[in-house]
Amino acid sequence: IEKPEFFKDIPRNYKRYGMPVFLFKKFLKEIEKPDLILITSFMTYWYPGLFETIKILKEEFKSVPIILGGIYASLCYEHALSNSLADFVIRNWEFEKLFEIINDITGIKVEKKSFEEIFLEGFPEYNLYENINSCAILTSIGCPFNCIYCASSLLYKKFIRRKPEKVLEEIKNYQKMKIKDVAFYDDALLFKKEEFKEILDRIIKENININFHTPNGIHAREIDEEIAIKLKKANFKTIRIGFESAFDERLKNEWSFKSSKGMFLNAIKNLKSASFDEIGAYVIIGLYNQSIEEIIESYAFLYENGIKIYPAQFSPVPGTIYYNEWVKRKNLKDPIFTNKSIYPDKPDNISFEKYERIKDFAKILNRRINERINVYKEAREFLN
């Protein structure tokens, strides 16, 4: 689709994923007119597609109220109220208000419950999909850390863990559906790890035949020898750690000191002792006060310890301390400008093309992970 003017100079295609518009309109004409439409939202910079969806729904069902919720609605509440065309906008912590609206519009008396209550009691209805081989799961919401770039504490006011029996019930349901891969998307999966160990013990005892993955990253500080062994026995296949930077000063001063190189190395030792052969770690790139040298030092540290490198393009998240500072620096307030693909907070002296090369360099190191090359020398040759 056509790029917004601000993105014209970015040498990439601008895309909107999902169902083609003509198929969506065809689907709407084939269904019964609803009493009420509820729409969720995710990345804040995806809102143009969300707005178009609401516009199409308004054209097809003119008199049907639309309620908008989700991450964008929670973090960009005023923006959504002013621009989305939704009749109601509900933030994560306003679920009681949602039930009042449902009662008023439909006449159906729905028991009022908080977001936390719903989270603890239920799980997604993935069985509504005709075909599904993989899905996501949450055992908890919230995070005890308060990193300046993260919105977890804004979306969830406290850390809450579901009971192990409820988590196992959900996983066993996916096994019945013949789902092969399940990804954990908790913000702090291993926090209060004794609770998570109980979940792992139940998975092991039930001999669950599912591959588990941690694409959202887990905290190195929590990976002790026992956790590593249980993760292996429970059939965890993808282990990703939120390493983020080799600069301990950045981790200490900006990111709640939730990790360090020492904590990371101890976690790697435990994982390798448990026979995890392939481990990956995220390195944040695109920070305004981050040099190429810092990124390469982080790459080198991971490479030299046999860890695959996954660059994480930084995006300022609305509502966070970092975002508020970014708005002052850049004088950009529209959430669309936080799209991570454009490196919205990169230093002026590092080009978009250079960052793309930095991403490509990580792929090269991953392919050559067993060769023991000189990372600094290769970086100079590849990036210049």
The DSSP-derived string for 294-337 is HHHHHHHHHHHTT-EEEEEE--PPTTSHHHHHHHHHH---SGGG
Position 122 scores a pLDDT of 85
- Hey, what are 74's tokens? 């929670």
* Residue % of the chain over a pLDDT of 90: 80
Position 10 scores a pLDDT of 86
At 381, which amino acid appears?
A: E
Report how far residue 244's alpha carbon sits from residue 246's, in angstroms, rounded to the nearest whole number.
7
Fold of 5-106: Rossmann fold (3.40.50)
Give residue 3's pLDDT band: very low, low, confident or very high (50, 70, 90).
confident
- Hey, what are 375's tokens? 């990372």
Position 255 scores a pLDDT of 60
Instruction: Please say if the pLDDT value at position 249 is more than 80.
Output: no
Report how far residue 187's alpha carbon sits from residue 142's, in angstroms, rounded to the nearest whole number.
6
Average pLDDT for residues 73-94, to the nearest whole number? 96
Position 245 scores a pLDDT of 86
Position 384 scores a pLDDT of 87
Position 114 scores a pLDDT of 84
Q: pLDDT digit string (tens) for 311-325? A: 999 999 999 999 999
- The four Cα atoms 324, 333, 72, 16 give a dihedral, to 10 degrees, of -130
Q: pLDDT digit string (tens) for 127-153? A: 999 899 999 999 999 998 888 889 999
Position 294 scores a pLDDT of 93
Give residue 110's pLDDT band: very low, low, confident or very high (50, 70, 90).
confident
Count the helix, strand and coil residues of the chain and give each as a percent rounded to the nearest 5.
50, 15, 40
Position 113 scores a pLDDT of 85
Average pLDDT for residues 70-83, to the nearest whole number? 97
Position 206 scores a pLDDT of 95
- Hey, what are 217's tokens? 């990253």
Claim: this prediction has a pTM higher than 0.75: yes
293-304 exposure pattern, b = at least 16 Cβ within 10 A, e = fewer = ebbbbbbbbbbe
DSSP string, 13-48: -----SS-HHHHHHHHHHSPPPS-EEE----GGGHH
Cα of 71 vs its chain's centroid, Å: 11
Instruction: For the chain, give the mean pLDDT.
Output: 93
Instruction: Please say if the pLDDT value at position 256 is more than 60.
Output: no
Lowest mean pLDDT among 13-17, 70-74, 79-83, 370-374: 13-17
- CATH class for the region spanning 130-383: alpha beta
- Hey, what are 363's tokens? 């792929």
Phi, psi angles (nearest 5°) of residue 185? -115, 25
Query: What sign for the dihedral angle of Cα 242, 244, 250, 253?
Result: negative
Position 266 scores a pLDDT of 97
Q: How many CA atoms lie within 13 A of 288 on its CB side?
A: 13
Position 40 scores a pLDDT of 96
Report how far residue 34's alpha carbon sits from residue 111's, in angstroms, rounded to the nearest whole number.
21
Lowest mean pLDDT among 2-6, 200-204, 238-242, 267-271: 2-6
DSSP 8-state class, residue 281: E
Instruction: Please say if the pLDDT value at position 257 is more than 70.
Output: no
> Who has greater pLDDT, 115 or 292?
292
Instruction: Please say if the pLDDT value at position 252 is more than 70.
Output: no
Average pLDDT for residues 48-68, to the nearest whole number? 97
Sequence ranges of the domains in the chain: 5-106, 130-383
Instruction: Please say if the pLDDT value at position 226 is more than 90.
Output: yes
* Residue % of the chain over a pLDDT of 70: 98
The number of beta carbons lying within 10 Å of the beta carbon of residue 328 is: 8
DSSP 8-state class, residue 255: S
Average pLDDT for residues 65-84, to the nearest whole number? 97
At 20, which amino acid appears?
A: P
Lowest mean pLDDT among 24-28, 72-76, 103-107: 103-107
Interior CA angle at 280 toward 278 and 283, to 5°?
A: 160
Average pLDDT for residues 180-187, to the nearest whole number? 97
**Ramachandran region, residue 181 (left: φ > 0; alpha: ψ -120 to 50; beta: rest):** beta
Report how far residue 95's alpha carbon sits from residue 70's, in angstroms, rounded to the nearest whole number.
11
Strands (DSSP E) contained in 224-287 are 236-244, 279-285
Q: pLDDT digit string (tens) for 339-384? A: 999 999 999 999 999 999 999 999 999 999 999 899 999 999 999 8
Average pLDDT for residues 174-187, to the nearest whole number? 97
Report how far residue 129's alpha carbon sits from residue 132's, in angstroms, rounded to the nearest whole number.
6
Instruction: Please say if the pLDDT value at position 253 is more than 80.
Output: no
Instruction: Please say if the pLDDT value at position 46 is more than 90.
Output: yes
Report how far residue 209's alpha carbon sits from residue 137's, in angstroms, rounded to the nearest whole number.
16
Give residue 112's pLDDT band: very low, low, confident or very high (50, 70, 90).
confident
Report how far residue 302's alpha carbon sits from residue 250's, in angstroms, rounded to the nearest whole number.
17
Would strands 134-137 and 140-141 be described as parallel, antiparallel, or unpaired? unpaired
